[in-house]
Structures are given as structure tokens and as C-alpha cells.
Amino acid sequence: MKEELFGWKMSHTYATLPNNFFTQTDPTPVSQPSLVLLNTKLARRHDLNASRLQEKEGVEILAGNRVQDSFYPIAQAYAGHQFGHFTMLGDGRAILLGEHENETGDIVDIQLKGAGKTPYSRGGDGRAGLGPMLREYIMSEGMHGLGIPTSRSLAVVETGDQIIREEMLDSAVLTRVSASHSRVGTFQFAQAFGSIEDVRALADYAILRHDPDLVDEGDKYISFLKRVIDRQANLIAKWQLVGFIHGVMNTDNMTISGETIDYGPCAFMNTFESATVFSSIDLDGRYAFQQQPNIGGWNIARFAEALIPLIDEDEEKAVELAQETISTYGPTYYKYWLRGMREKVGFSVEKEEDSQLIEALLDVMKREKMDYTTTFIDLTLELDGKECTATSEVFRSWRERWKKRLEEEERSTEDIYQQMKRVNPAIIPRNDFVEEALEAAVERRDFASVQQLITLLENPFAYSDEQKEMMQKEIPKGPFRTFCGT
């Protein structure tokens, strides 16, 4: 068959759930699809024919103009707490084509974002701007390079059409690849708008998809809750370790798989400030950098609420078990965060005073208005004989304490240096880098800067000359704001 030339091996297990979880929805064709970016390495990773996808028919598939026989396009229904307020939601501009299985047995969702109206568009046009779709491509691939669980971007296709936002924008379709799109908000939807059996069907589906070893466990729903807690705690700890601010941690944006998803008003922190907020719509700082771990726990509590009827027939006992399990989130998060921070400052032997020393560093960074990423780069390179650029007295005092602690490692300086290089990125998708590349692409049709940035972010721990040169650029002063791009 012709479609086999592209390498698709589709199934549609999500469509076996009760019908209220989704609506069959075809993508809306666009006028002149044109390929802007194709992630050839990701395509090959999933045994897709990258060459074929760049041809006319392949681009039409990625634009939503051509629906292959093996596809069953659906829009998923879900709900969510948006900035604390519960509402019915759903895929307003995203369409799931199916679940693709590669030759090693990995199964991933293939989704078109910006593919047109769906029953959940809530008055929107279902389209997306070229800039926001390029931004998601850059940010998601940058996160992947950093080793942070994330959805990924396969392609960006221009549509040849314009959309109306505050101004007329060129529109585009992003092809997103994810372990799944099941969200905390999907369970909230089942709880609020379905039956207990709907919740059970969804939970059983998610367990089979993400934690198949739990299928035959007697207490599988509590065990499933524990797994989701562990994944979310680990994910958010990884965000904090690199200064990433998601910007919109609504329950509909938190996945059961533990992947970062929905790159709207996200950004990376420059100057260390725990109260940093970038999102233009987060007026009260609900999703500020320092709030992310707490909001992760809040979201987990909403997930657990949906599972209560499945945990035990006795509601009082179910609530007690759920609360006991939820209470592990905070310690689990802190375990992952402290482990990661120890690695960032070169420690491998665990000592009780480490947490105090690490907190002291963060305090110095805040007081001295030091750049988060550059500080760890400087500490890393100092072990390679480079002179540290930070010269304040208070930071020099902390460094002396740090060096004395390193002496207790009983490892060579080279070993410690190599450890720190593996966890402290030489480059991140810094806000001004991303905006500069997007401006060139959207305003001048020059996509070279986008491609260069993506290449530099593929291995952010390389410490290449190009990465060092990029990170040495002057950081613009003043507030930086990000927008949802909807």
C-alpha cells in the first residue's frame, strides 16, 4: 500500500474508550502546505521515512490535507482547573491521528496541532500561528536535549493561510509526538461528566498503556497513583534544576506519562529569582518558578480525587489511602531535586550538610542577581582551570566552602568536572535566543537561525565553542513576557 511507504504503523486504542472521551474529527484542509521543519532524527527513531515525508504527499499528510487509510483522526475531550477554576475543555485545535508503533515496540501518539476546528474549539478557529508552532518545536526539542521528559516535534508545515489574532498571522500545523495525551484533566472529565465505569475504563487504559506491570495487581489504582506521583515529582524537579518555568500548569496540561507538554507561555529563567513569572496571563504568580513544585502536588491531589471510587468501595477508607499516598509527593520531589542539585555542584557522596550548602548558593545567587545557568557553567569550568566570572565577596566566600566540601569526595578533579559537565548545560533555549530566531523566521522568512539554534540544543552538554559563544551574548535587561499563542 502507498501509505506503507511512509512507515506508519497505526493503532487506535484510545478510540476503544467510551465515546464521550473523544469525537471523530477530520483535519481541515489548508490552501498551500509547505514544509518548514522536519525532524529527520525523530522520524528515523520511529521508523518513518523522512525522505517520503518531505515529498508533496508527505507534506499534505503533515498539514492534515491527506488522511491515510490507517488513520482514525479524533479530538480528545478533557476538563481541567485553569488557574484554579474548573471548566470543560478538549482538543480545540489538535487532532490525534493515531498511535504509531516503531520496530522496537515503542508506541507514541501522532497529533496535528493547529489542524482546524473541533467540537471543543469553544468559538476558536482551531488554527495556530507559525511563530508559536516554531517555538514549541524549539522548546520541546531543547527540553529533550536536556534529558527532560517531553512531547516532541516531528514537523512544522506552513498552511498558506492567515489567521486573525491581535493581528493577521501566518498559520502553521505542528506534528507532535508523545507517549500519550492522557492528562490529569482527562480523569477530571471522566469524574465530572461520566460515570464511575468511565473513570475505571480510563484508568485501566492508562495503566495498560504506561504501567502494564500493574494490570494484575490487587491494589493497582493506588499503585498507579504512586507511579504518576513519582513521574510528576521527577519531572518538576528536572524543571527546577534547569530554571524552566512552564507558565501554565493547569491540570489539563499535566500528563499521566510524566512528559512536559503544551509549550505555551514557557521560558527559562535568566537572573535567579524564585518568584519569576513570564506568562502574560499569570497575574497573581500562581505558576511562578517557586510555586511549580507545590502546584505539582495540587494537581496530583485533583488526580487522586478522580480515582477515589476505584481505590476502595468504602469512601472513607479510599480517601485515607489516597491522602496517605499523596503525602509522599513532597518528599519524593525533594529527593529528586536534592539529588540533582548535588550532581550540579559535583557531589556524589551524600552528606547531611549538603542541603544547607546548596540553599546557601541559591541565596547568594538571588542576593547578587546572578544568572542561574551561567553560575553553574562557571562552577563547572572552574574545575577545568577557567577563572570564575562572578567576583562578589559573598560568592567567593561560598566557593571556599564548596571547594572544601569537594575535597571530601575523594575523587579526582577531572572526575568531578566530567560529572558536572553531564548535568550543567552549556546552552539552554534562552528567551532572547528563541525570540531572535522566531523574528527572523516569521518576519523575514529566514529559518537559518531557527535551525542553528535547534542544532546547538541537540546536545547542550557538549560545551562546544559555538555554545559558549552563544551563551556569552549580553542578556537583555528588563521584564520578558510570554503568551499562550492560542
Which residues are marked as active site?
Answer: 252
Contact 207, 220 (CB under 8 A): yes
Distances (CA, A) of 70 to 9, 10, 95, 221, 235: 8, 6, 15, 33, 33
Query: How far apart are the C-alpha atoms of 338 and 477, rounded to whole Å?
Result: 30
Q: What are phi and psi of 159, to 5 degrees?
A: -95, -20
Query: How far apart are the C-alpha atoms of 96 and 89, rounded to whole Å?
Result: 16
- What amino acid occupies position 432? D
> Which candidate, 62, 69, 44, 78, places its Cα nearest to that of 181?
78
For CA atoms 13, 18, 22, 24, the dihedral sign is: positive
Q: What are phi and psi of 41, to 5 degrees?
A: -70, -40
Supply 383's cell numbers: 574545575
Q: Within 10 Å of residue 371's Cβ, how many Cβ atoms?
A: 20
Euclidean distance between the first and the last CA atom of the chain, given in angstroms as a whole number:
37
Query: How far apart are the C-alpha atoms of 35 and 183, rounded to whole Å?
Result: 30
Supply 299's cell numbers: 494537581
Contact 477, 260 (CB under 8 A): no
Give the three-state DSSP class for 75.
strand
